[in-house]
Amino acid sequence: MTRKRIMFVADDESRIQPVRAALSKWDQITTIGLDSAKTCLDQARIQDYHLVIVMDSYRSRTDGLEFARQKAETHKVLLLMKYEENRPREFRSVQLGDFESLTQTVTRILEN
């Protein structure tokens, strides 16, 4: 099985810990990173990732959604929703804190 690499984009280290714990049980996931907006927007930096998970509140809610839209052109993107209202239909999304749904959704994305 090909090992999968995930980049998790969040603006606060405390937000990444529960996601890292939920996803780290899979052997195929080798990387979950915390990066600044500048680094994340560098196409060369993330071109080898199989999935980019973006918090909808990254930097600000608007910035997180805009970043996800940019990356969706070239990457599989999953939006981790802190805010339930106005859920964008163009992305797969999971409610923050729903780790069972998160693990199931990530599995489906990476298997396709």
Q: Which pTM value belongs to this model? A: 0.66
Q: How confident is the model at residue 83 (pLDDT cuts 50, 70, 90)?
A: low
**Which domains are delineated in the chain?**
6-111 (3.40.50.2300)
Q: How confident is the model at residue 44 (pLDDT cuts 50, 70, 90)?
A: very low
* DSSP for 61-103, written as a single string: HHHHHHHHHHHHTTS-EEEEES--TT--TTSEEEETT-HHHHH
5-35 pLDDT, tens per residue?
Answer: 777 777 666 766 777 777 776 654 544 444 5
Tokens of 22: 């939920």
